[in-house]
Structure 1
Amino acid sequence: MGLQGPLCTQYLWERLGAGNGSAARQGGGCANGSGSAKQEEELETLVAHWNLYLNLAGFLVGLFSVTLLGPWSDSAGRRPALVLASLGMALQAAIFLAVMSLRLPVAWLLLGRILSGLSGDYNLILAASFAYAADVSDRRGRTFRVAILEACLGLAGMGASLLGGQWRHAQGYAAPFWLALSASLAAALYAAVCLRESVAPRRPARLLTLRHYASVLHLYAPGARGWEWRKLLLYSLAFFLVVSVHFGASDLLVLYELSTPLCWGSQLIGYGSAAHYLAYLSSLLGLRLLQTCLEDGWVAEAGLLSNVLGLGTIALASTTPLMFTGYGLLFLSMTVTPVIRSKLSRLVDEKEQGALFAAVACVEGLCSLVATGVFNSLYPASLSFMKGFPFLFGAVILLVPAAIIGWIEIQDSKPDYSHFADMPGPLQEAEQ
């Protein structure tokens, strides 16, 4: 995924720029001479819209498949879900590779996203992996286990970004996508052959049944859980807002860097993506250190502060040093999602982890849907008055989850005397 995202945006920039006569230079950067500012703005709008179409195609389909396959893994096991999702990712990489190698119409990229979405896409890999981590960890150490998984994403993304920019500059687009195809197939083989199953005992389970969707909906039914149910809803809302901002900002970063005033080439874009992914590793270290003196909720608050400062700086970045300063301020930004995932996991039964993380993946799919719609529409609309406005908008939105998490932490830290309020007082006893 780390290889495919930035390279796909750069490919659309070059391919669509060549198709409509815009002066998009190979390797990125800003056009000179005949490339007018108006042409560049039109190209930015076109690429942003194609990014929107691709994300919509994959995640609209994945929204339904993940909520089917995630609860199914509670009975059938995590391994089948991981194998299926990895094979879908491999098929997507193969179609992308065919489009780039054979110069097929870019609309064929939509087919790859749809087929990957049918098999659960990247969200099912996340859902099954996080459910696996919950299966094999206790409640006390779960937050750090989940953070390790998030850090693995960052490590892979950082390596892919450094490799992808240099590799694409040297050999074009095809070679990195061959690696993406091979990595997906290797993941499927590993899950099928080497990975130990965490669901025991496994039970036969029908795949095509509405019962799987019902198990996801049951998690959010009020029932008799009271405060726990309210926390589930509030944490889900906070997660939705945080991930929406993360997806929306990430979608725009490459396009933001390609165009005026930064005018980055493919190598600088690779370094920028690596700096962005480095936040996963720095957040893991920061989480471990902060957990020694703070509750998980306050660690998440520190991560949200890091997010707000970083996005605010990127919104104002007009030079390369300032852009990298913004990336540096994001050093704790990825502490938020592992804390929320862990807290959500503790609110449900151990046998509902697959359904829970399928619901979380469903929320992530909705995040992508909303983020691509809002941010990829907001970016072209704001070019005339402030190019970095979508990042500033995201920073303001993050104040809402900060308020939610802080309020829950304050409520949970209060001594629970509510049971005394239900007891009759001396006067009430005398009246009775």
Structure 2
Amino acid sequence: MRRLYLVEPVVALYAFSSFLIYPLVQQYVYRRLWVQLTNSSYPASTNTSRCAGNSSGAGGNSSIIQEVQRQASLFSLYSELLSTIPSLMVTLVLVAYSDRGGRKVTIVLPLVGTLLYTSAFLTVSFFELNIYLLIAASFVSSLFGGLGTFLGGCFAYIADLCKDERQKTLRMAGVDMMIGLLSGVAALSTGYFLRAAGFNWPFLTSALCQSLILLYAVFLLEETVKEVPPELGTPGGAGAVKQALLGFYQVFAGAGGRRRTVLVLLMLVFTSFTFSYVGGVSMVTLYELNEPLCWTEILIGYGAALSTTVFLTSFVGVSAFTYCGVPQLVIVLLGILSVTAGLVLLAFARTTVLMFTARVPMFLAIVPFPVLRSMMSKIIPESQQGALFACLSFLESLTNNVAAAVFSSVYAATVSWNPGFVFLLAAGLSGVPLSFLGAVSLYGVDVADGDGGAEPVSSEEGSPEENDDNRPLLS
């Protein structure tokens, strides 16, 4: 059977199956907690007046609503904390090890973990088991890696195939766009799916999609690591983990002083921006369920779908800016400012129209991610791409989990007096990546953006400060 070098179908179906249930997770937990705390059924309605009714009833009691909000945010906190460490360790080891053992292991194992988690969610929903079993399921699935492991393997896979830097940037942006388009379709249909069939059918549909992805990844996806570079040794054996960690170390040790500094600064931009962006948007669903919005599942689906259009608009933005020769640091700057403006508007959105409008300024929100990945990829030799993306996936997963935990705690503490405070906090923290970006522009703009960087040297004259494989600096 002929195999394919197309990882995009895996990413597309993974995004669809994940976002088919992602908007439902918080809603399911929210409804179960509502029933437990109020001893009444969750009030179903077709409008936004659910929590604006009679204050004597459960649906209109603000203190009850705030308690449900607090418990739901704490549930998210516990789930994130328990799954963080194993997922991070697996991401670090697997993606770095993929330089020797192949990229497919970093794609297949997270798919197995996701399928297990979705199946557990279906079981809990179908048999109405204790919702805290979902935290245990989250822990077990994290032992197979998580989204960071999966995307780290996919981006390393693309880096293996693309030698041209413009092609690499656009294809990585295309993966982000694929995630946005398919997740948008899934999110848009989730509300109708939930209202028509309840929670069980979306979970079952997601599990079936994930089974198809797994079959494709195992039997149709071709491996890109055919031969192990001699300097990396052979995979397998008791030293596999040690070799993976050594590759992680060599990402920094192998770069010269100036390149190493620029690489660290770019990673700081990447992680600090991820923290503020992910932390802010992770609280959107709970904010929409709270007063005065009180959105139904249909409106939440529309909102999630509109949010995912930023993947498409960001891809168009990256393509247009790259074609016009806009410096990559400027592209990242525009993306950060786009997110900051959107978060500020979210903090003051008190009506449905404003909640939808607040998403418009964030049309370049995803732009910094593929651009920063491409910039860092060019600094590192080809034989260490897996180690680099292991580092990035590790940092991204750590940041995502820490951001979700921190912002869940902040939201639980501030929901009673200002639910929008978390968005203002996220907007303020966006100044941190801007400061690191300024440091890159002052210290190493030629290294980071290709504006007059050092020329490649011959193998006889190469020095630690130059690129090990004689490739030009970032362009």
Please report the TM-score for the alignment, with normalisation by the length of structure 2: 0.84
Match of 1:386 in 2: 418
Distance 2:295 2:375 in 1: 40
Match of 1:412 in 2: 445
Is 1:232 paired with 2:263?
yes
Q: Deviations over 1:109-149 (max 9, x none)?
A: 01221122111122111010000111111223221111111
Q: 1:111 aligns with which of 124, 136, 142?
A: 136
Match of 1:425 in 2: none
Aligned residues: 416
Give the superposition deviation at 1:293.
Answer: 3.8
Structure 1 unaligned residues grouped into runs of 5+: 418-432
1:215/1:355 contact within 8 Å kept: yes
Match of 1:249 in 2: 280
Indicate how the Cα distance of structure 1 residues 22 and 363 shifts in structure 2: closer, same or farther if over 3 A, else same. farther
Letter in 2 for 1:266: E
Distance 2:39 2:312 in 1: 39
User: Secondary structure in 2 aligned to 1:60?
Assistant: helix
Q: 1:188 aligns with which of 204, 214, 217?
A: 214
Match of 1:174 in 2: 200
User: Secondary structure in 2 aligned to 1:101?
Assistant: helix
Match of 1:422 in 2: none
1:297/1:406 contact within 8 Å kept: no
Distance 2:209 2:123 in 1: 17
Distance 2:221 2:152 in 1: 16
Q: 1:266 aligns with which of 287, 291, 297?
A: 297
Letter in 1 for 2:338: S
Letter in 1 for 2:157: Y
1:95-106 correspondence runs (5 A): 95-106=120-131
Letter in 1 for 2:161: V
Match of 1:424 in 2: none
Is 1:25 paired with 2:66?
no
Q: 1:209 aligns with which of 220, 234, 241?
A: 241
Q: 1:154 aligns with which of 180, 187, 194?
A: 180
Distance 1:60 1:109 in 2: 17
Distance 2:280 2:300 in 1: 15
Letter in 1 for 2:244: H
Distance 2:333 2:39 in 1: 44
Q: 1:59 aligns with which of 69, 84, 89?
A: 84
Distance 1:224 1:295 in 2: 23
Match of 1:420 in 2: none
Give the superposition deviation at 1:416.
Answer: 7.0
Letter in 1 for 2:116: L
Letter in 2 for 1:158: G
1:327-338 correspondence runs (5 A): 327-338=359-370
Distance 1:40 1:59 in 2: 29
Indicate how the Cα distance of structure 1 residues 351 and 416 shifts in structure 2: closer, same or farther if over 3 A, else same. closer
2:21/2:206 contact within 8 Å kept: yes
Q: 2:311 aligns with which of 253, 267, 280?
A: 280
User: Secondary structure in 1 aligned to 2:417?
Assistant: coil
Give the superposition deviation at 1:162.
Answer: 0.7
Q: Deviations over 1:283-329 (max 9, x none)?
A: 10011112214111111111111101111101110011111111111
Match of 2:251 in 1: 219
Distance 2:262 2:69 in 1: 41
Give the superposition deviation at 1:384.
Answer: 3.4
Letter in 2 for 1:375: F
User: Secondary structure in 2 aligned to 1:187?
Assistant: helix
Q: Deviations over 1:399-424 (max 9, x none)?
A: 2212322432344247679xxxxxxx
Letter in 2 for 1:57: L
Give the superposition deviation at 1:224.
Answer: 5.7
Match of 2:338 in 1: 306
Q: Which moved more, 1:401-410 or 1:157-166?
A: 401-410
1:85/1:122 contact within 8 Å kept: yes
Q: Deviations over 1:73-120 (max 9, x none)?
A: 111211222111111111110001101101111111012211221111
Distance 1:205 1:152 in 2: 33
2:158/2:172 contact within 8 Å kept: yes
Q: Percent of pairs identical after alignment?
A: 30
User: Secondary structure in 1 aligned to 2:221?
Assistant: coil
CA RMSD of aligned residues (A): 1.9
Structure 2 unaligned residues grouped into runs of 5+: 1-17, 229-233, 455-475
Distance 2:158 2:396 in 1: 18
Distance 1:4 1:361 in 2: 23
